[in-house]
Amino acid sequence: MTNNAPRRLRRAEAVLLKRTSRLVLVSERCVDAHNLAAMLRTAESLGVQHVYVIAQDDEISNQHKSTVSSGANTWIDVHNFSNTADCIAELRKNDFEIWATDLNEGAVAAAPGAMPEMPSKLAVVMGRETDGISDEMRELADRLVHLPMYGFTESFNLGVATGMILQRLIDADPSIIGAMPDGERNELRRKWYAQLGGIGWEEIYAEWLENPPLPLDDLRPTEESRSPRMKKNLAKRLNIKTRRDAT
């Protein structure tokens, strides 16, 4: 019976299988809402379920909430904090070890062969674009790590750096993938089925909620769903069919 389930539910099950709450992302005082949106999208794509956002600027905080509402936070949990101390307290309460990214002396290279042993629960902190993590975070973090660079440029783009550090942590300990308690996974299933089903979803998806369908073997989008999203005038100039044209 599970083979006849809607594709969207089988896709959700495949995503659930890889979701992790063992590794969480922390953004401290990001000043660009677009960078924060990119970080959230990257975290979601890599299976990270929880992102902790420390936004001390009300204007930026409001911008990111507006940006996020149209995308990534549909599928991940974004936890907002007004200051660093409150965020650290919450992480400590949930038994997370904190690794903060930093370019200062003493930071360990996040590179193959140099990566420290992964703790049972890890929060990785990305600092502000302009000057990195705060002095408070630097003092209270359990470990400081950095991404090695080999060019003249002094730092990576924040969104790029986020993707690189998350991927390196996952590569260093692949058991991070899918590390989530069954109870949390079941709660997410119910939440996602409701989002995917809309009004009356419980009646429509009841049998699948109690007896989850088989996950898709491959999460890559189908050829049809890969049709690019772009403005009509640009698509016309490039002679590309958009998703709307394909339907």
What pLDDT band is residue 217 in, cutting at 50, 70 and 90?
very high
117-145 pLDDT, tens digit per residue, is 999 999 999 999 989 999 999 999 999 99
For residues 160-179, give the mean pLDDT: 97
Residue 57 pLDDT exceeds 70: no
Q: Which of 59-63, 86-90, 110-114 has the highest mean pLDDT?
A: 86-90
Give the long-range contacts of residues 96-99, CB within 8 A, separation 24 or more: 96/24, 96/121, 96/122, 96/123, 97/121, 97/122, 97/123, 97/142, 97/143, 98/26, 98/123, 98/125, 98/140, 98/141, 98/142, 98/143, 99/123, 99/124, 99/125, 99/141, 99/142, 99/143, 99/144, 99/145
Q: What is the average pLDDT value for the chain, to the nearest integer?
A: 89
What's the token pair of residue 151?
Answer: 């060019």
Domains assigned to the chain: 2-10+180-210 (no CATH), 20-176 (3.40.1280.10), 223-247 (no CATH)
